Amino acid sequence: MSRNAESTAFRSALEVIRAVEPRVADAIGAELTDQRESLKLIASENYASPATLLAMGNWFSDKYAEGTVGRRFYAGCQNVDTVEALAAEHARELFGAAHAYVQPHSGIDANLVAFWAVLADRVESPALKKAQVRQVNDLTEADWFALRRELGNQRMLGMSLDAGGHLTHGFRPNISGKMFDQRSYGTDPATGLIDYDRVAEAAREFKPLILVGGYSAYPRKVNFRILREIADSVGATFMVDMAHFAGLVAGKVFTGDFDPVPHAHIVTTTTHKSLRGPRGGMVLCQPELADQVDRGCPMVLGGPLPHVMAAKAVALAEARRPDFADYAQRIVDNAQALAEGLLRRGAKLVTGGTDNHLVLIDVSGYGLTGRQAEQALLDSGIVTNRNSVPQDPNGAWYTSGIRIGTPALTTRGLGTAEMDQTAELIHTVLTQTTAGANADGTPSKAKYTLDPALADKVARQATDLLAPHPLYPGIDLA
């Protein structure tokens, strides 16, 4: 697409929106400005291509399409069938998967589809049918206990939240923690790395129905061959959530033992993050689970979003191009350069570095909580998110860590030299931020002090760093 065509497309779209609700048009334009000017280091965010963005704003949004390709509960879905089939085809070819289901609206939805597919495949119980016709929000803790009991009190073993796992891997406030009798495996306290012998020991003791691999804040590779062997040894279904690192799998940076697709029974992912597509989810699985996975709607999901499936097809097609592999490798190169820059400046990193797209800083060494560090960095034009570290004394809300990632900046074209400069900006802000106190004089986990002049200076430096790498250079809304 030519730059002129991109500008015309988005400018025209905003004109149409502005005629109905100008405040929405203004907010959309402001978001582009903010993203262009901010040093975005949130590991779970990226920038979708103009083609992917445009694929979501069309008449597919008007269609109901419950069911699957060729088996819809609504008439007139032949064009939806086309884009869903294309998205699934690209997914299968890209990841070498036997089956792909592209309807989930998010990563959590994809995980729910996977959980229920495994339960339906492995456990025969009338409770399954009951659960599908009741309102989930109406179920009490006693109801959930009864449901788990009727299902055989099925068990899940997944990575703990503070070790880098995700809340959908059995965290109690999440639906996964209510569906399953759950236990977590952590990391070695000394190294922060997964101890596979301890995982195997926990699996032998707990005997889970599902062993979950994958993470949202673990900065190292995972050996999925070993985890599959552990799952097989206790008769568990091995599920991997690769939402964060799907782009590294697609780009063939993670291969062999570190590619989950050949080893897992079922794999879930988002389609944004390192995959650089629209916000959405996807499930890949072995043939024996395909029929159950395809029942995701109406078992778990509402109506599919055809316009988002169209965008998934576009993004997955982009990921099959040769240049995507180069992009994926540069994500890791940049993350390692960022980690090395931080280490040289004295920062404490969980596991001492990274093998993937993210770096986890333990900001307690700066005398800060994650919440204080996150806000101070934001004041300085650096967008990150606070995150727990292993055995975090501040819990999941205030935290002791900052998670940073390189997919978005890599999309903009920044390289390893700019990552070292980014490390300098982060270190400058964190060393110049001091923890505040509550009104009664007790230490605060949220309040902090940072000289506004310094914050402004760093923000200008961040803008200068980004200037040679404009975001969406083909789009001019003026």
Verify that 66 and 89 share a domain, yes or no. yes
Which residue in the list 63, 148, 279, 457 is annotated as catalytic? 279
Verify that 313 and 334 share a domain, yes or no. no
Which residue in the list 241, 355, 392, 418 is annotated as catalytic? 241
CA distances from 354 to 15, 197, 218, 331 (A): 44, 22, 9, 11
Can you tell me the distance from the alpha carbon of 346 to that of 398, in angstroms, rounded to the nearest whole number? 22
Does residue 87 contact residue 313 with C-beta atoms inside 8 Å? yes
Verify that 173 and 305 share a domain, yes or no. yes
Residue 18 in any domain: the answer is: no
Verify that 87 and 170 share a domain, yes or no. yes
Verify that 188 and 292 share a domain, yes or no. yes
Strands 434-437 and 443-449: antiparallel
Residue by residue, DSSP assigns 13-62 as HHHHHHTT-HHHHHHHHHHHHHHHHSEE--TT-----HHHHHHTSSGGGG
pLDDT band at 133; cut points 50, 70, 90: very low
Verify that 300 and 330 share a domain, yes or no. no
Residue 246 in any domain: the answer is: yes
**Residue that terminates a domain, selected from 270, 292, 319:** 319
Which CATH number goes with the domain that contains 79? 3.40.640.10
Can you tell me the distance from the alpha carbon of 84 to that of 307, in angstroms, rounded to the nearest whole number? 10
Residue 244 in any domain: the answer is: yes
* Closest by Cα among 427, 96, 463, 48 to 274: 48
Q: How many domains does the chain fold into?
A: 2
Burial per residue of 424-452, b for 16 or more beta-carbon CB atoms within 10 angstroms, e otherwise = bbbbbbbebbebeeeeeeeebbebbebee
Instruction: Say what the pLDDT of residue 131 is.
Output: 52
Average pLDDT over all residues of the chain: 91
pLDDT band at 137; cut points 50, 70, 90: low
For the question of residue 81 being annotated catalytic, the response is no
Verify that 247 and 393 share a domain, yes or no. no
Which CATH number goes with the domain that contains 416? 3.90.1150.10
Which residue is associated with the tokens 């109506």? 303
Instruction: With a cut of 60, say whether residue 263 has pLDDT above it.
Output: yes
Convert the pLDDT of each residue in 163-221 to its tens digit.
778 877 777 677 776 778 888 999 999 999 999 999 999 999 999 999 999 999 999 99
Does residue 314 contact residue 306 with C-beta atoms inside 8 Å? no
For the question of residue 327 being annotated catalytic, the response is no
Convert the pLDDT of each residue in 9-24 to its tens digit.
999 999 999 999 999 9
| pTM for this predicted structure | 0.90
Verify that 425 and 328 share a domain, yes or no. yes
Which residue in the list 36, 64, 82, 416 is annotated as catalytic? 64
Instruction: Say what the pLDDT of residue 456 is.
Output: 96
pLDDT band at 410; cut points 50, 70, 90: very high
Which residue in the list 18, 36, 63, 66 is annotated as catalytic? 66
For the question of residue 273 being annotated catalytic, the response is yes
For the question of residue 130 being annotated catalytic, the response is no
Instruction: With a cut of 70, say whether residue 76 has pLDDT above it.
Output: yes
Which residue in the list 273, 312, 330, 386 is annotated as catalytic? 273
Convert the pLDDT of each residue in 278-308 to its tens digit.
999 999 999 999 999 998 888 888 889 999 9
Verify that 261 and 305 share a domain, yes or no. yes
* Closest by Cα among 166, 159, 157, 242 to 396: 166
Residue 235 in any domain: the answer is: yes
Can you tell me the distance from the alpha carbon of 198 to that of 187, in angstroms, rounded to the nearest whole number? 9
For the question of residue 241 being annotated catalytic, the response is yes
Residue 236 in any domain: the answer is: yes
Verify that 196 and 340 share a domain, yes or no. no
Structural domain containing residue 95: 59-319
**Residue that terminates a domain, selected from 319, 348, 367:** 319
Residue 161 in any domain: the answer is: yes
Which residue in the list 270, 369, 384, 406 is annotated as catalytic? 270
Residue 252 in any domain: the answer is: yes
**Residue that terminates a domain, selected from 319, 347, 374:** 319
Verify that 129 and 223 share a domain, yes or no. yes
Average pLDDT over residues 338-354: 97
Residue 476 in any domain: the answer is: no
Q: Alpha-carbon Rg of the chain, whole angstroms?
A: 23
For the question of residue 279 being annotated catalytic, the response is yes
Verify that 380 and 400 share a domain, yes or no. yes
Convert the pLDDT of each residue in 18-66 to its tens digit.
999 999 999 999 999 999 999 999 999 999 999 999 999 999 999 999 9
